[in-house]
Amino acid sequence: MQKTKGEVISVSESLVGVTNLQGPISNGEVAHISIEDDTRLKAEVIDVKSGGLAYLQVFEDTSWIKVGDAVIFDGQALSVRLGPGILGTVTDGLQNPLYELAKKEWFLERGMEVDPLDNTKEWSFSPMVKVGDVVSAGSVIGVVPEKIFQHKIFVPFSLNGKYTVKHIVPEGDYTIVQDIALLEDLKGSSISLQMAFEWPVKESMPFHKRSVPQEPLPTGIRILDALFPIARGGTACIPGPFGAGKTVLQHSLARHSLVDVVIIAACGERAGEAVEIFKDFPDLMDPRTGNSLMDRTYIVGNTSSMPVAAREASVYLAATVGEYFRKQGLDVLILADSTSRWAQALRETSGRKEEIPGPEAFPMYISTLISAFYDRAGLELLPENETGSLSIIGTVSPAGGNFDEPVTQATLLSTGAFWGLSRALSDARKYPAIDRIDSNSRYPSLLEQDEVEYLLELLRDGKTIASNLILMGEKGITDEAYIRYQKAELTDAVFLQQNSFHDVDGFTNPERLKEMCAAIRQIIDAPVHLEGKESIRSHFNFIRQAFIDWNTILPDDEAYDKQRSKIMNLVKQGLHATENV
């Protein structure tokens, strides 16, 4: 098939105008611009005008592009290659494997492209169909073992109609580019299949059957699992200022969330934070398997120093890979950091296209794009009574911590859980610094709903009394109010705060979460007959320290039950007069 050609007529940063089109093109199509030394720069069609004019966004530095340079259109949308070999890799937003690129050149050269998956590695393929079977898009024709699960080999989702299996290779070792099956449609046309296929990144994969997310997704982070949960297949946003703990929170989510696959989309954060992920994750141990965390992780790395077009592509690449693993019947978690940088990339592109700007110069359609991204999450009911889920958690970095700006507001409308990070809490070294009052979630908690409401009411009362303490001092409030305040502060200190770097306290499973909540409830409900602010404060300080010590002990340790008994004995002392404590 003859490819459409054109030539450059304008260059404005990453936006390139092309004219003299010698054939049809469409939005989303991939193009290559030929510059000096036969280097080809990859680009994407983002606007097609009348009169043979089109605009491309280029994924690399456009400094050497000149008017008159030749452009060749591929006739295919920007796509991701899906198949065995994705897990454990680090790529850019165009699925170029960064470690493989680094082997070729220390400094990445423009126009350099590498096959996204290893075409030479052999995989142990086991067929799941036989000659004569009828299959369709999404049918499983075989499996290969990969890392910690069986990787299903699908009939490509882009095929329509029914096909008959004319040939299937026997069990053995094959590469992803070798033909493993031959299908024939109703018209007698043949199609050869390999283990890998491509899918457009900006097109959602169709659900087999979609279901409403209801089951809580345990993250190991107590404040989330108890008060502001996310469901399997749900969505959440983490807005917050710089230095409020977004990176540490994401590391904890990636390491401890009870999911099968974690995808990290570094879509525009500073290079230092992205490098921290690249360096740390291969050395982190997966608590469940004892192997490297990278065995179930895929990282898309596009930092703020990379072109804006690639930054935009990285978000869609992560979403498409996540949908693919959901089709495998796995629970997948995407951590996108930061969607604000993605939105800023869209704003830059929109400005160069001279579109009518919306609030704060973001595109008028920014809410639609953000909503469409989060809508790719969900719980999918698959054939053979299997389920797969894709959960998406996106961080937002509003300028000056202003949650009223357009990206934050559009994200709030599109997600089911809001985990607002507080500058005041992070300055007070209270981590996770998730606002206890303003955060919220529409999903069910691991605790009973009346327990959640009970804790939230206590925290609201504690905040109100804390304000009165600032205005009037301890002498201005009653002992009863001061006891209520101390109970709220203790709950915050021993239950909501958590040491992410501690081997035990860094992760709390659902069973221990409920046990801790029951202990907190006993402390809150226990009457305190002490008199004087000093005695009350001292009483709760002893309980606080004992509870924090309990948080660092494993349940199978003989000291576990002893420490819990110590906490309850301290609670009972509050029933007596001050002189008996």
The answer to whether position 531 is within a domain reads yes
Residue 114 has pLDDT above 90, yes or no: no
| Rounded Cα gap, residues 346 and 360, in angstroms | 12
Do 108 and 37 contact (CB within 8 A), yes or no? no
Residue 142 sits in the same domain as residue 277: no
Question: What span, in angstroms and rounded, lies between the C-alpha atoms of 276 and 283?
Answer: 11
- When pLDDT is averaged across residues 282-289 and rounded to a whole number, the result is 74
pLDDT for residue 106: 60
Higher-pLDDT residue of 485, 292: 485
Gap between the Cα atoms of 381 and 200, Å rounded:
22
Looking at the fold, whether 13 and 57 belong to one and the same domain comes out as: yes
Can you say how many angstroms the Cα of residue 315 is from the centroid of all Cα atoms in its chain?
10
Q: CATH number of the domain that 287 lies in?
A: 3.40.50.300
In angstroms, the CA 92 to CA 3 distance is: 27
pLDDT grade, residue 134 (50/70/90)? Answer: very high
Asked whether residue 381 falls in the same domain as residue 464, the answer is no
Q: What is the pTM of this model?
A: 0.94
The residue-averaged pLDDT of 510-531 equals 95
Q: What is the pLDDT of residue 305?
A: 63
DSSP-derived 3-state class of residue 545: helix
Confidence of residue 76 (pLDDT cuts 50, 70, 90): very high
Across the chain, mean pLDDT equals 91
Are 252 and 400 part of one and the same domain? yes
Q: What single DSSP character describes residue 175?
A: -
Neighbours of 149 (CB within 10 A): 17
Q: Nearest-CA neighbor of 158 among 82, 88, 214, 99?
A: 82
Q: Please check whether residues 419 and 307 belong to one and the same domain.
A: yes
DSSP letter at 492?
A: I
Structure confidence at residue 108 (pLDDT): 67
In whole angstroms, how large is the CA radius of gyration of the chain? Answer: 28
A 10 A CB-CB count for 12 gives: 13
pLDDT for res 398: 86
Average the pLDDT over 566-576 and give the result: 88
Question: According to the model, what pLDDT value does residue 309 have?
Answer: 72
CATH code at position 127: 2.40.50.100
Q: How many domains does the chain have?
A: 4
H helices of 239-338, where? 246-256, 271-280, 308-327
Please state, in angstroms and rounded to a whole number, the distance separating the CA atoms of residues 233 and 187.
39
| Lowest pLDDT segment from 295-309, 326-340, 374-388, 467-481 | 295-309
* Domain membership of residue 19 as a residue range: 5-78
416: in domain:
yes
Give the model's pLDDT for residue 579: 41
Assess whether 312 and 375 both reside in one domain. yes
Q: Which amino acid is at 460?
A: R
Question: Is 187 contained in some domain?
Answer: yes
473 and 549 part of one domain = yes
In the chain, what's the furthest Cα-to-Cα distance?
94
Does residue 190 share a domain with residue 167?
A: yes
Q: How far is CA 457 from the centre of its chain?
A: 31
**Do residues 353 and 297 share a domain?**
yes
Coil, strand or helix at 194: coil
pLDDT confidence of 375, banded at 50, 70, 90? very high
Separation between Cα atoms, residue 104 and residue 107, nearest integer Å? 9
Give the CATH number, domain containing residue 471: 1.10.1140.10
Tokens of 117: 């998956």
Tell me, what CATH number does 38's domain have? 2.40.30.20
**pLDDT exceeds 60 at position 578:** no
What's the rounded Cα separation, in Å, for the pair 414 and 408? 10
Whether residue 375 is found in the same domain as residue 465: no
Q: How confident is the model at residue 580 (pLDDT cuts 50, 70, 90)?
A: very low
Nearest partner of 328 among 113, 540, 147, 571, judged by Cα = 147
Residues 68, 24, single domain; the answer is yes
In a domain, 118, yes or no: no
Residue 114 falls inside a structural domain: no
Closest C-alpha to 59, from 335, 314, 265: 314
Is residue 481 situated within a structural domain?
A: yes
Q: What is the pLDDT of residue 284?
A: 76
Please say if the pLDDT value at position 164 is more than 50.
yes
Query: pLDDT category, 107, cuts 50, 70, 90?
Result: low
pLDDT at 268: 66
Between CA 460 and CA 456 the distance in angstroms is 6
Same structural domain for residues 282 and 356? yes
Handedness of CA 188, 189, 190, 195 (dihedral sign): negative
